[in-house]
């Protein structure tokens, strides 16, 4: 029997929402999206999230993932959203807006949950590193299928800057890098991850992986690399799965 929950994924450039059958990991509605406001303060973001949710009637708990370290429901970092979020109890704020319980978690962690449960990492005992390439670089680490939450491996120092300032999908677009030029940067980053963590599998996520076939032959690292099964939907699916418990 299907169990349908709402998942919401707040990103640096867009907010996505969808209904998810958490018994199968499949979307049970269209995937809605809206631009992330600038500045992306709580007062600016919450009405957008609520408006998307209103177009997707549902009941039960809600999963909401966010580009931040999340500890006990509270936002602790704000690399790609307004700094006004730091210290905010995002879980409580969203629960008041929805009028029901909300599971509030890091966006890359949510994407990883989706991929390990139903996607590219299913059946892989680990260790697995999920990397999402978007406005920044999100990361999620799994060992024996269990998540180690709130890794911030996109903020490792590379070339005197955060790694995500060197190799994110946003950087590729902003600098008009071709696939070869971008993959040189990604390979340098993957080599650092390999040296530190020695995973069996890298899962690459984010909308850029819709073009995985175009750049996959240019990627070189010792571990296996797979594209995210859910591409840009992974955060929404993973958030809903997290809410299901």
Q: What is the pLDDT of residue 164?
A: 96
pLDDT tier, 153 (very low <50, low <70, confident <90, very high otherwise): very high
**Span 6-25, mean pLDDT?**
95
The pTM assigned to this predicted structure is 0.94
Q: Is the pLDDT of residue 15 over 90?
A: yes
| Angle in degrees, CA 57, 93, 234, rounded to 5 | 55
Tally of CB atoms within 10 A around 219: 15
Q: What is the pLDDT of residue 231?
A: 86
Which has the closest alpha carbon to 102: 135, 74, 139, 140?
74
Q: What is the pLDDT of residue 132?
A: 94
Q: Is the pLDDT of residue 121 over 90?
A: yes
Please state, for a pLDDT cut of 90, what percent of the chain lies above it. 93
* DSSP-based helix, strand, coil % in the chain, nearest 5: 40, 25, 35
Q: In this predicted model, what pLDDT tens digit does every residue of 177-226 receive, in sequence order?
A: 999 999 999 999 999 999 999 999 999 998 899 999 999 999 999 999 99
Domain 4-109+233-244 bears CATH identifier 3.30.420.40? yes
Q: Is the pLDDT of residue 33 over 90?
A: yes
Which has the closest alpha carbon to 90: 80, 79, 100, 76?
76
Domain with CATH 3.30.420.40 in the chain: 4-109+233-244, 123-228
Cis status, amide bond into 39, omega within 30 of 0 = yes
pLDDT tier, 35 (very low <50, low <70, confident <90, very high otherwise): very high
Average pLDDT, the chain: 95
d(CA 168, CA 86): 23
DSSP assignments along 126-152, one per residue: S-EEEEEESSSEEEEEEETTEEETT--
d(CA 57, CA 244): 17
Q: What is the pLDDT of residue 129?
A: 98
Q: In this predicted model, what pLDDT tens digit does every residue of 44-90 receive, in sequence order?
A: 999 999 999 999 999 999 999 999 999 999 999 998 899 999 999 99
pLDDT tier, 245 (very low <50, low <70, confident <90, very high otherwise): confident
Residue 110 in tokens: 């949510």
Q: Between 3.30.70.100, 3.30.420.40, 3.30.1490.20, 1.10.287.610, what CATH number should domain 123-228 receive?
A: 3.30.420.40
Q: What is the pLDDT of residue 1?
A: 65
Reported as half-sphere exposure (CB side, CA atoms, 13 A), residue 75 has a value of 27
């Amino acid at each position: 029997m299907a169990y349908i929950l709402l998942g919401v994924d707040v990103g640096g450039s867009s907010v996505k929402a969808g209904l998810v059958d958490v018994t199968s990991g499949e979307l049970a509605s269209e995937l809605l999206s809206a631009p992330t406001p600038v500045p992306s303060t709580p007062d600016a973001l919450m009405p957008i999230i609520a408006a998307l949710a209103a177009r997707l009637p549902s009941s039960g708990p809600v999963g909401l993932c966010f580009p931040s370290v999340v500890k006990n429901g509270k936002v602790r970092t704000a690399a790609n959203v307004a700094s006004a979020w730091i210290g905010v109890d995002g879980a409580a704020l969203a629960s008041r807006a929805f009028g029901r319980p909300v599971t509030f978690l890091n966006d890359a962690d949510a994407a990883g949950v989706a991929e390990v449960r139903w996607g590219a990492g299913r059946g892989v005992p680990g260790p697995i590193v999920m990397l999402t390439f978007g406005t920044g670089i999100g990361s999620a680490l799994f060992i024996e299928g269990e998540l180690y939450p709130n890794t911030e491996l996109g903020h490792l120092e590379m070339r005197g800057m955060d790694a995500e300032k060197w190799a994110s999908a946003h950087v590729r677009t902003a600098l008009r890098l071709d696939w070869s030029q971008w993959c040189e940067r990604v390979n340098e980053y993957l080599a650092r991850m390999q040296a530190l963590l020695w995973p069996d599998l890298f899962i690459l996520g984010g909308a850029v992986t819709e073009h995985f076939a175009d750049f996959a032959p240019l990627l070189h690292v010792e571990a296996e690399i797979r594209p995210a099964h859910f591409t840009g939907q992974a955060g929404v699916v993973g958030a809903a799965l997290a809410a299901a418990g």
